[in-house]
Structure 1
Amino acid sequence: MKVIIFGLGYVGFTAACCIARQGHEVIGVDVSARKVAEINEGTAPIVEPEVSEMLTEGLAQGRISARTEIGDALDGADIAIVCVGTPSAADGAHNMGYVADVSRQIARALVGVSRAKPLTVAYRSTFRPGTCEGLVQPIFDSILGDDAPITIAYNPEFLREGSAVADYFAPPKIVIGTKDGKPDAAMDALHEGIEAPVFHVGYREAEITKFVDNTWHAVKVAFANEIGRTCLQLGVSAQQVHEIFVSDTKLNISPYYTRPGGAFGGSCLPKDVRALSHIAADTGTNLPLVDSLIRSNEAHKHRLFEYAVEGLAPGARVLIAGLAFKAGTDDLRESPNVDLARKLLAAGYALEIYDPAIRADMLVGANLGYAYSQLPDLERLLVDKAHADATAGKGDYARVIVTNATVKDLDLGGAETRDLGSLK
């Protein structure tokens, strides 16, 4: 098949590489000329295991290309997948501007085009229930009329940064929303060979799926961290309490997201929790637990800051090991570790940051904007492994603050550490 992907961020670029690996032709479209040039030259725009190798393979086989304009990309295409961002608006709702803009571009590119079969336009951006019917379909109808040569589908993704490729080929489930809830042949063909439960449902059932999943993950993180904070106050081992709790797979589900440690962050959980709170308020639904999640998370960030600097002299030299919200990725969007770094700087500590996945000159798009809006001196703060090892070896760090598995790359000698990723 020929697949066009709009938006080459984490979700879109990973999907492009995986779909090409499946043997399909993939054309990626993104507004960033720099990102497009890097992809066509064989440089992945994100840090994620396996994608660089898959990009090289796809380019060599002629299955991957990228461009900044649609042009004739839709000619002969079977599926167009929209993966553009839906960032939080000021009121907590999702900003649907990028989705609307791309939908208009696709519709205009199809004006006057005769197709033997409809183009399936599948959306993976997170949508408020009712968006396909209330926003997307009217855009296509207004430009192409009632007989538009398209079929709209909503296909949420379930990729975790750091294991996105593995998650693509072995997802927990496949959800495909259509107007009548019936299967779409092109979408079924796209997922051929992927073993997972498949749900063919209406638009709204598919659209709410990510809100339910991500809010549940946020609930688990916030609950675990509230227990962790309580344990810290009482002198109780949070680690042992966690081991007891997750041993009960009959009643207490699983250890994922229920380990006391870092606050939740990244591009999905905070954004979708805020959006669900907005939807609830907009529809007159009272969700006190969901509404409290962001406040609980912010309280945990501050408690972790207090824990990190406990006993440190004013102005002490400290190293953060791990800035991205997940080790092995370069995603800084709403990373709790960025907030920690900002608090350390504001408190007057001499801060250095080590994260092997982050290069200041390689950050692009929303990731770049968020990083420098929160840490304008990011490039100066980042140090390499040799510098961090040497400084730790001389005993010049008053403390190394460990946020994730990044610390495994370092030789810290006898440097004092505080592990925020796993409260003891």
Structure 2
Amino acid sequence: MKVAIFGLGYVGCTAAGCITAQGHTVVGVDVSEGKVAAINEGRSPVHEPGLADLIAKARAEGRLSAVREIGDELDDCDIAIVCVGTPSGVDGAHNMSYIAQVTRAIAGALKPDRAAPLTLAYRSTMRPGTTEQIILPIFRARFGDATAKVVELVYNPEFLREASAIKDYFDPPKIVLGTLDGTPSANMEKLHDGIDAPVFHVGIREAEITKFVDNTWHAVKVAFANEIGRVCQNLGISARKVHEIFVSDTKLNISPYYTRPGGAFGGSCLPKDVRALQHIAADIGANTHLVDSLLRSNEAHKHHQFQQVVQGLEPGAKVLLVGLAFKADTDDLRESPAVDMARKLLDAGYKLHVYDPGLKPENLVGANLGYAFAFLPSIESLLVDKATAESGDYALAVATNRLVDTLDLGGVSVVDVSAIA
């Protein structure tokens, strides 16, 4: 099959690499000249373990290309996948402007005399009802009663974790395929052929809300664990032992990963989707007090960890922060708790160096680039190489991920943020 992918960020690039690895042909569409050029040169625009090899191979074999404008690329496409951003708006709701823009562009590029409908699958996180209330009307305005003969609308949420996205693509926890009438999409089934996972054929709204439920639940687990951790620490109780007892109950408590006291949640999904779910709940008159408290609790935990880090540290001391991205093996800075830690250390007057070999400011693109320079404008002057990090000239090293294990810091005291309940 030939597949078009709109939006060449983390989700879109991973999809492009994995879909071409399955033997399909992919054309990527993105307004970013840098991303398009990178793909056409056989390079990955984003840092994700294993992705560079997939993209280089696909490009060398002629199964991957990228353009900035659609043109006639959709004429012979079987599937188009939309992976554009849906960032938080000022009120917490997802900003649907990119979804509307790309939908109008696709509708304008589709020809009414197609031999078969284009299967148009959205993977961007969207409010339930978006397909029926925003996307479908755009196509009906152009094609009227013939819409179903031109386009098949699908919502197919992704469950990719940065730094393990390729593995997650081929070994997902589930596959959710939502259509307007809840019936299976033959093209989407073909696209997922060979991937072993439970498949849910559901209505479009059930599919649309899936990511909200999943990501908000993950956020609930992290915030709950950290609240209990703070109570335990202030009472002189071992949070680790309490956690050990708690997760031993695999019948009810289930997931030890998100219930371990430690790091705050961050990244491009959890904070954004929690905000959007808050907005939805308020809009429909629901009372979701726990959800409403999640971001405040997360911010409180960031500040709690900062206070623990600097306890007893002399003002003006030189500090090494190991790891700035929100997760190891990625260069994604969006809403990274480590960025907040860096800002707090700088605001408090400490002399800060940052070591993160996966992070190169000149390679940052899109929303990641904007976030980096909006929230940490001095990032370029803070980053140091391994030799400098290992110089030993620090009062304290603050570790945010396992990168610290790759350094020889001599006698420098290391504080592991994940161990601060």
Q: What's the TM-score, normalizing by structure 2?
A: 0.98
Q: Is the 8 A contact 2:19 2:26 kept in 1?
A: yes
Amino acid at match of 2:182: G
For residues 285-329 of structure 1, give each alpha carbon's deviation from its aligned partner in whole angstroms, at most 9, with x where no partner exists.
Answer: 110011110110010011011111111000100011010110010
Matched, 1:121 2:125: no
Once the two structures are superposed, the pairs formed by residues 35-114 of structure 1 within 5 Å of their partners are 35-110=35-110, 112-114=111-113
Q: Equivalents in 1 of 2:178, 2:235: separation in Å?
A: 48
Once the two structures are superposed, the pairs formed by residues 221-240 of structure 1 within 5 Å of their partners are 221-240=222-241
**Of 389, 414, 418, which aligns to 2:415?**
418
Matched, 1:399 2:396: yes
Farther-moved stretch of structure 1 (231-240 vs 174-183) = 231-240
For residues 228-273 of structure 1, give each alpha carbon's deviation from its aligned partner in whole angstroms, at most 9, with x where no partner exists.
Answer: 1122212222222222222221222121211111100000000000
Q: Equivalents in 1 of 2:252, 2:122: separation in Å?
A: 35
Once the two structures are superposed, the pairs formed by residues 315-354 of structure 1 within 5 Å of their partners are 315-354=316-355
Q: Equivalents in 2 of 1:253, 1:113: separation in Å?
A: 50
Q: Equivalents in 2 of 1:308, 1:249: separation in Å?
A: 33
Tell me what 1:203 maps to: 204
Amino acid at match of 1:400: A
Matched, 1:160 2:157: no
Residue ranges of structure 2 left out of the alignment (5+ in a row): none
Q: Is the 8 A contact 2:42 2:60 kept in 1?
A: no
Q: Equivalents in 1 of 2:2, 2:209: separation in Å?
A: 28
Q: Equivalents in 1 of 2:242, 2:354: separation in Å?
A: 31
Q: Is the 8 A contact 2:84 2:99 kept in 1?
A: yes
For residues 352-401 of structure 1, give each alpha carbon's deviation from its aligned partner in whole angstroms, at most 9, with x where no partner exists.
Answer: 10111100110000000000000111011011112101x22xxx111000
SS at match of 2:415: strand
Tell me what 1:138 maps to: 137
Q: Equivalents in 2 of 1:406, 1:131: separation in Å?
A: 40
Amino acid at match of 1:63: R
Q: Equivalents in 1 of 2:142, 2:112: separation in Å?
A: 13
Farther-moved stretch of structure 1 (67-76 vs 6-15) = 67-76
Tell me what 2:17 maps to: 17
SS at match of 1:162: coil
Q: Equivalents in 1 of 2:128, 2:268: separation in Å?
A: 19
Tell me what 1:314 maps to: 315
Q: Equivalents in 1 of 2:258, 2:325: separation in Å?
A: 17
SS at match of 1:313: coil
Farther-moved stretch of structure 1 (341-350 vs 402-411) = 402-411
Tell me what 2:219 maps to: 218
Q: Equivalents in 1 of 2:224, 2:257: separation in Å?
A: 12
Amino acid at match of 2:244: E
Once the two structures are superposed, the pairs formed by residues 235-246 of structure 1 within 5 Å of their partners are 235-246=236-247
Residue ranges of structure 1 left out of the alignment (5+ in a row): none
Q: Equivalents in 2 of 1:408, 1:322: separation in Å?
A: 11
Deviation at 1:113, TM superposition (A): 4.6
Farther-moved stretch of structure 1 (37-46 vs 321-330) = 37-46
SS at match of 1:348: coil
For residues 127-148 of structure 1, give each alpha carbon's deviation from its aligned partner in whole angstroms, at most 9, with x where no partner exists.
Answer: 1110000000001111232213
Amino acid at match of 1:342: R
SS at match of 2:250: coil
Amino acid at match of 2:56: T
SS at match of 1:8: coil
Amino acid at match of 2:411: G
Q: Is the 8 A contact 1:238 1:423 kept in 2?
A: no
Q: Is the 8 A contact 1:132 1:203 kept in 2?
A: yes
Q: Equivalents in 2 of 1:113, 1:410: separation in Å?
A: 60
Amino acid at match of 1:418: V
Identity %: 67
For residues 194-225 of structure 1, give each alpha carbon's deviation from its aligned partner in whole angstroms, at most 9, with x where no partner exists.
Answer: 01110001111000100000000000000111
Farther-moved stretch of structure 1 (335-344 vs 41-50) = 41-50
Q: What's the TM-score, normalizing by structure 1?
A: 0.97
Q: Is the 8 A contact 1:354 1:382 kept in 2?
A: yes
SS at match of 2:76: coil
For residues 19-76 of structure 1, give each alpha carbon's deviation from its aligned partner in whole angstroms, at most 9, with x where no partner exists.
Answer: 0000000111111001111121122111111101111111111111111111121121
Q: RMSD of aligned C-alpha atoms?
A: 1.0
Q: Equivalents in 1 of 2:202, 2:281: separation in Å?
A: 22
Amino acid at match of 1:130: G
Size of the alignment, in residue pairs?
A: 419
Q: Equivalents in 2 of 1:413, 1:242: separation in Å?
A: 31
Q: Equivalents in 1 of 2:106, 2:176: separation in Å?
A: 23
